[in-house]
Every structure is written in C-alpha cells, then in structure tokens.
Amino acid sequence: MVAGWGSLPADFFPIQLRETGISLLNQSQCMQSLGDENFKEDVMLCGSFKDGSSEFCQRRTLMCKDDEGLWNVVGISSGDSGCEGPSTAVFTRVTAYKDFISSFLNKEIHTCEEGEVLLSDQICDFEVHCNRSVSDERDCDHLEIGFELNLTSPNYPRSYGNSQHQEFLMISERGSHLSVRWLHFQLETGFDYVHISFDRERYINFTGNSTPDDFVSPSNILWVLFTSDSSVRDEGFAMHVEVVPGNGTSNCTVDSDCSGHHEICNMSKCQCLPGFFRAFDMCLDIDECAEFRPCEHKNSECVNLEGSYQCSC
C-alpha cells in the first residue's frame, strides 16, 4: 500500500490521508519499466500501481503489513515524476538506512529558547549553540556560573603535569561580563599556554612568567584552555573570575572618546577598524593568513600586516 498527502492532478492537495494499492517489482522489472540502469535494489524499491495509474502524484510513503497486522514504513518516495509521469513509482528502501535513522532516534534532544533543536552530542560540548539562552551549556560539569570563582591549572599550587589539556567554559547571566584578575602566572615559555577566547574561534595565547594584564570579557561568555607539552613542568596559573554588570559598548561622540588604538566612533559606539577584533577591551589584529588563507596561488606566500595582509610570490 502507498499512503500520503501527495498532490493530485491540477495541483490539488487533499486534507485527508490517502492510500492506493501497489505491486512491488524486482530489479529487472524496475529497470525495464523505468529504463534506468542505475536502479539499485539494495537501496531502492519500485512498484506498479494496481490500477495502472497513481491516484496521487508526490510525497508518497510505501507501507507493508507485517504478520501481526501492523503497517510498517518500508519506502519513501524518491524521484517523483509528477502527475504526468509513469505509473511505476520509485522509493528509497528504509531498511538500507536503518542504522543511520536509529543513530538519531536514540539520541536525546534539547530545544533552545529560540526554537532550534539540538542533538545530545551538541549539549555540554564546550560550544554555545543556543545563542539566546545558552541553555545547552548551562548545567554541564565544565560550566561555572555564579558571582565569583578562582580558576587554576591542574595540581595548583604545586607544579602541573605534562601533556595537560584542561578546558573551561564560563557563562554568566545575559547582559553581564566576566572580570578576570590574574593571581599567579608561571608557565614554560613557548611550550605551555593559557588560551583565552570569547567566541572559540579566535584565541589570545599567554605563556612564560610575565603576568598578563587583567581584563573584562566583552560578553557573558569566556573560554579558558590550558595546555602543556610532554616535558618541563612549572608552577602554573591562578585567576580570579568575577561577574560584573554590563553597560554595553563604550559610548562616544568622536574618535578620541574611544580609549584604545585601531578603533573609531561609529553611531555613538566605539568599534574596531576592519582587520581588528575586540578582546580585553582592546582592538587586536586579525591574522588573516592563519584564519582565512586568502592567498590562493600555489606559489604565493601570505604575509600578515597590521589590520591587513599581503600576498607575495
């Protein structure tokens, strides 16, 4: 049996579920009827409508009754030819994709505030998918939300181990910011790093024994990643993170009202110039060569410039 709400001749769509009889054909019969040598029986099914023509033209589902009298979906319409097409219909064989379908049906889902549906492997994955509510990361073990907290390298205040990979995602309430004050910083220069990001696309990397400047995140989201190589341990790092109220981007009337370099006053807001991005309340250079690989010619070399780049041969 074939069932569905497919279109009828004259582009009429029924409001009730319709059905019609169909006889399944083998591969040679399908190839002969359809004239298609690419018909693959392991992933396709085809059938001929019992009355010689389809009672409805598109969006059909092939169903068969099992021994217990239950109807099962065995095929999904594929390659509909419309109401003027042949009376033989082609279906995708559902059993050929059973494992693929089951892999999704067996996963829990999460619905964001804005309506987007996420699968379970998108929850607590250090990525914020629910842009409005960040609810997909709100109840995860790696997430810290509160008024303030201290974040340290593994085993602090003793030396951290080799080959460490420690990642934190911190999210405060929408509209607020995260203020970071460094308490201690002592890493192997050039090999062990603290990576800071606000969007998980661009990272600011810190290494060595010079304590970085304190900063306030531009949004309510902060990623901290600590990595160490396979040799030479050091004291590690400690930072104090505190939630502070948000007051938006700095207001301005002229460019001189903006405190940093490489930024201008645009529509009463301080904005970074093209080629720069905001981090730590500063406009930092975008490395176009590393992020976008703009030089396409095989013999060209990309040279990063402040606020721009240059392709040279």
* Terminal-to-terminal C-alpha distance of the chain: 66
Domain boundary among 99, 126, 155: 99
Write out the chain's pLDDT in tens, 313 residues. Answer: 677 766 565 555 566 677 777 888 888 888 887 776 777 888 888 888 766 555 555 557 778 888 888 888 888 887 655 555 556 788 888 888 887 777 766 666 677 776 777 777 777 777 777 766 666 776 676 655 567 889 999 999 999 999 999 988 888 776 778 889 999 999 999 999 999 988 777 788 999 999 998 888 877 788 899 999 998 999 999 999 988 876 444 567 888 777 667 888 887 777 888 888 766 566 777 878 877 778 888 788 899 888 888 998 7
Pair 187, 208: CB distance under 8 Å: yes
Q: In this predicted structure, what is the pLDDT of residue 248? A: 44
**Residue 77 corresponds to which amino acid?**
S
> How many domains, the chain?
4
Q: For 273, which DSSP code? A: P
The reply to whether 278 and 308 lie within a common domain is yes
Q: Is 23 exposed, middle or buried (0-12, 13-18, 19+ CB in 10 A)?
A: exposed
pTM: 0.48
Residues 149 and 130 in one domain: no
Has residue 254 been placed in a domain?
no
CA triple 90-93-96, angle to 5 deg:
150
- Output the domain CATH number for residue 240: 2.60.120.290
What CATH number is given to the structural domain containing 31? 2.40.10.10
CB atoms within 10 A of CB 262: 18
Q: How far apart are CA 69 and CA 65, in angstroms?
A: 6
Structural domain that includes position 162: 143-244
Beta bridge partners of 114: none
Residue 164: C-alpha distances to residues 141, 153, 220 (Å): 18, 9, 26
The whole-angstrom separation of Cα 167 and Cα 70 is 50
CB atoms inside a 10 Å sphere around CB 14: 13
Domain-located, residue 160: yes
Same-domain pairing of 184 and 274? no
Picking from 99, 121, 153, the residue at the C-terminal end of a domain is 99
Establish if 253 belongs to a structural domain.
no
Q: CA 24 from chain center: how many Å? A: 41
- Looking at the structure, tell me whether residues 91 and 121 fall in a common domain: no
